[in-house]
Amino acid sequence: AGGKQRLDQSGASGEGSAVHAGGGGAGSSGVVEGQDGAGAGCGADGSSRGLQADTITMLASRCDASGTVSQWVLHLPRIPHDYTGTGDLTSALLLAWLRRLPEVEQMALVLEKVGATLQAVLTRTLQMDRSEICLVQSREQILEPTVTIRAQRLSC
């Protein structure tokens, strides 16, 4: 399934959101929808889009109640290893942060917090030389991620 690199909004009426992540390798994608119609998804197949193998690109789109779409992009360094559970973690983080920061103008921060958490958890997992992500050992970073890379707003 080449090229899961796209900006998207949920098909629900009212406010909605979606996030897609693409990297240099193969992976899966999915969409998780909340009760309010907000959605979040991720994928890691960007081979047909010419993405760099050393970068993970996360794209986010939010549609407010008036139908105005806002979009952001976040580029993260790719951790050079394949891990089990990253898609599930990404979906869970997106849902949790969208619940805590539900306003459209907070979407950049949601994306940054998800990216920071993923980077912290995967870095810890790499340091511990494990293939299954180290969630318990990364509890503090999951609860309060340190954002060092900022999302950029895209012009629509």
Query: What is the model's pLDDT at position 13?
Result: 33
Q: From CA 3, how far away is CA 85, in angstroms rounded?
A: 21
Contact 78, 57 (CB under 8 A): no
Query: What is the model's pLDDT at position 51?
Result: 56
Query: What is the model's pLDDT at position 84?
Result: 87
Beta-strand relationship, 16-22 and 30-33: unpaired
Kindly list the strands in the beta sheet with 152-154, ordered across the sheet, starting from the edge strand earlier in the chain: 16-22, 55-63, 69-77, 152-154
Please provide the DSSP assignment of 48-93 as one string.
GGT--TTEEEEEEEEE-TT--EEEEEEEEEPPSS--BTHHHHHHHH
In tens digits, the chain (156 residues) has pLDDT values of 333 323 333 333 345 555 555 543 333 333 433 334 343 433 333 333 455 678 999 999 988 889 889 999 999 999 888 888 899 999 999 999 999 999 988 999 999 999 999 999 999 999 999 988 999 999 999 999 999 999 999 986
Q: From CA 116, how far away is CA 96, in angstroms rounded?
A: 14
The residues annotated as belonging to the active site are 88
